[in-house]
Structure 1
Amino acid sequence: MGRLIAFIILLIPGVMAAYGIKLMRDTLFNKLLEPYPALWMQFTLGTLFTIIGIGFFAGFLLNRDRKKGNVSERFQKR
């Protein structure tokens, strides 16, 4: 049960990052989606979703590797 919850917690930011990439791609092809009033806003939100999604996933991996001791000294907590 714990692994399923961990998978779902990692799935949500992954989907969010994928949606952000889709928003940026649609902006580059001048396709405005329904809830967004302007292309610049669609691109900005897509960038934000991508950064947050990838950042959450990267932070999770860094935290896990710190617990296992698999990171270099530069990334260890002091």
Structure 2
Amino acid sequence: MIKNSITAFIAVFLMSASLSVSPALSDKEQLEIQRSYTARQMQQKEYQADLEVKRLADAYARMSDSERMKGDAELK
């Protein structure tokens, strides 16, 4: 059976080796990642807003004329 200290040494060695292989991101790369993340968030919000508009349009299309008139009268 492998001793705990040997297992810990192997784990620390592998972690340090993997950290030395993968370099840290530069400021420019971090800024680019942040910008792309922000752009994706904005696209997601726009998509959700579009879905809400479509949902409301579908609900309005399913209404009868009398329901529409009643709803429009309530808005005034």
Q: TM-score, normalised by structure 1?
A: 0.40
Q: Which has the higher contact order (CA 8 A, sep 6+)?
A: 1
Larger Rg: 2
Q: TM-score, normalised by structure 2?
A: 0.41
Query: Going by fraction, where is helix more abundant, 1 or 2?
Result: 2
